[in-house]
Amino acid sequence: MKQTEITLGDNERKAILNAFKSLLRAVKDRSKEDSSLIRKAFDLSLEAHKDERRKSGELYIWHPISVARICANEMNLDSTAIVCALLHDTVEDTYITLQDIEDSFGVKIRNIIDGLTKIPDVFDENASVQAENFRKMILTISNDFRVVLIKLADRLHNMRTLEAMESDKQLKIASETRFLYAPLAHRFGFYTIKSELEDLSMKYCERDVYLDIDKRLKSTQDVRARFIRRFIAPVKEELAAQGFQLEIKIRTKSISSIWRKMKNKDVPFEEVYDVFAIRIIVNSTPEKEKADCWKIYSVVTDFYQPSPERLRDWISTPRANGYESLQTTVMSPQGKWVEVQIRSKRMDEVAEKGIAAHYRYKEDKKDDSKFDRWISEIRDLLENSEANAIEFINEFKLNLFREEIYVFTPKGELRVLPVGATILDFAYDIHTAIGDRCIGAKVNNRLMPLSYELQNGDQLEIITSAKQKPNEEWLKFVVSARARQKIKASLNEERKSIAQDGKEILERKFKQFNLKMNAENITFLEKYFGIGSATELYYRIAKGKIDVNKIRELEDKNGFLVLPTKDFRPKKEVTTPDSKPLVDVKNDIIYIGEDFKGVDYQLAACCNPIPGDGVFGFITINQGIKIHRSNCPNALHLQSKFAYRCIKAVWKSEILQERLAAIRIVGIDQIGLVNRLTEIISKENKVDMKSIHFETNDGVFEGHIRVMVYDTEHLERLMGKFQEIEGVQRVTRWDLEDDFMD
């Protein structure tokens, strides 16, 4: 990533010093000691990185300075975080060691820098390096959450400067960002950062859609501005007359959020009604802010009719990350819905600055924060240290992006759980022992089973039994990470107990066959039986799934098990992440249409890539390599969690070959419509149609057509013809579902 032996010029040094002074001014509430420590960190970072540049050609020192400025300006973090941001890459990329950091800055800063330092690529063969680094970072949450916040700032700056990277690296980094870091920013309350991370990720993962929505937003900007001025004028005048001190902001919805709504609601850009929101921020004292927000709501709804279904009261019950706001959607005189957010200045700062502002105001809060409760849940999750990195991330993400419901204990205590939570989730939320012995519950005085899905406002009384214990089935109907972790922990304890019996059985057999009970022989048996761990080996022996008498068939030399090479060949797979692949994912490129190292590859059925699409290869477990579109519905999952199994792929341009593509058409049903479509396909464009399926409901039709085309240009021409047909409203490319991991 860097070039060495670059000297620092006078102009560059001057610009860097000016940037540092700007950084110091941004650090709030700093003492002289803080300023001195920040200067010391800057000097060390400047010296360590002086001969390094980034891919863009920019001096590398600009990166830690930029990360520190994000921490100061956009996150309101303290001086310790600024020091660590300036030093965050020194141990990983320069001669500086962790001991050097500790000697100069103390143990606390050393520990934060350690949490920010990536794990070496020793995991390349067996696990996702991204996943391992992410787990290492999350492990620090319970000790010092500044590690995660600095990492978010680091990722944000990397995304802002991603243009300099190669396209395949852009796709992998952007996918990982959208999958892991954007939800993390959301959970820590940094809505602005979360939206920017999502938008920048979309820019590289779905560039065409991103640019199209961006263009539409810019072209409608003046019209929106005029509409907003007319809309807020009477409200602003009335609120001023009533003596409110307030500020009105206009928030345009992020591009990624607009695209998400277009997909979820199945509507075009023009029909997304909440492209912008009006935010009214009142300057109130803590004891009056809730009442003031409701008074402002009353004024707004005096002028404009509200939608009863769109009222969100996050003042009475704040969200898990501390977010508070009163939100409603009202109808304007022009017949357009407008979202209005009402909040105090304190609430707005917490919403914009996340956790840092939350802890700044915490002393004003009488109740314990739900954000602190979430941190506690993360500690519970971290207790399960046996989970691999991918499993850990899956469990962790369960707690990131879920919507919430509110339920009550028999005594009226409010509990917040994720949407979809069951009685078991509630039981484990109360206490592990209650969850382990839960057999059901009275929900609103009615007896309900463990799998009952809770609804907002339910009141529960858990029923327990001393004879009850967790089983594998329970994992199917819990959604909270805490419940899943506790159930797995209980099952693991039982599994370990059974495995101990299996170990004793094996020890007796080893003694009978004059074999040594040592690590070498156990490892040999793991490979021989195709098992990943000694515990699993012992467990299967205890359950009778492995016949230990087969050990007699093996040879031994002085108590050590051996097997002739001709009989024992490791399974040859290019696809398993647990063995050395035949493919070099970092340097190899698949040219679609040519042979690739004798390894089979095929086009993925989930996205049907065709020439002109951006593509990548994914090494599957037992089906060779699958070629996916860069914007495939599964690309985010694959690129973020299994980037070490993704390989570059490009189309061989001189080969002209028809390939399958699917099209979705929605519109108003009319007589002769299908005939017109088939005429365009077969007669006018000479396209081979593989299948056509139409359904009509109350005069609206939806059709799916599969055709053979040469490339994206050919497909877009055909879709353009469909769009011209009277009654057709939308024509889009259609993605299928597929078991993409096989």
Catalytic residues: 92-93
Asked if 436 contacts 450 with a C-beta cutoff of 8 angstroms, the reply is no
Q: Which residue has the tokens 């205590």?
A: 413
Is 601:575 a contact under the CB 8 Å cutoff? no
Lookup: tokens for 4: 């060495």
Pairing of strands 276-282, 305-306: unpaired
Mapped onto helix, strand or coil, the DSSP state of residue 725 is coil
Token reading at 275: 């492209």
250: tokens are 């206009």
Query: CA–CA separation, 80 vs 88, rounded Å?
Result: 12
Three-state DSSP at 688 gives: strand
H helix runs in 206-325, sequence order: 207-219, 221-241, 255-265, 289-303
* Euclidean distance between CA atoms 381 and 141, whole angstroms: 11
CA-to-CA distance for 670 and 700, rounded, in angstroms? 9
H-assigned helices in 277-422? 289-303, 345-353, 355-361, 370-382, 389-398
Phi and psi at 189, nearest 5°, equal 85, 10
List CB contacts of 575: < 8 A, sequence separation 6 or more: 581, 619, 620, 621, 622, 623, 624, 625
Query: ∠ at Cα 288 (293, 29), nearest 5°?
Result: 100
Q: What does 88-111 look like in DSSP terms, one character per residue?
A: TTHHHHSS--HHHHHHHH-HHHHH
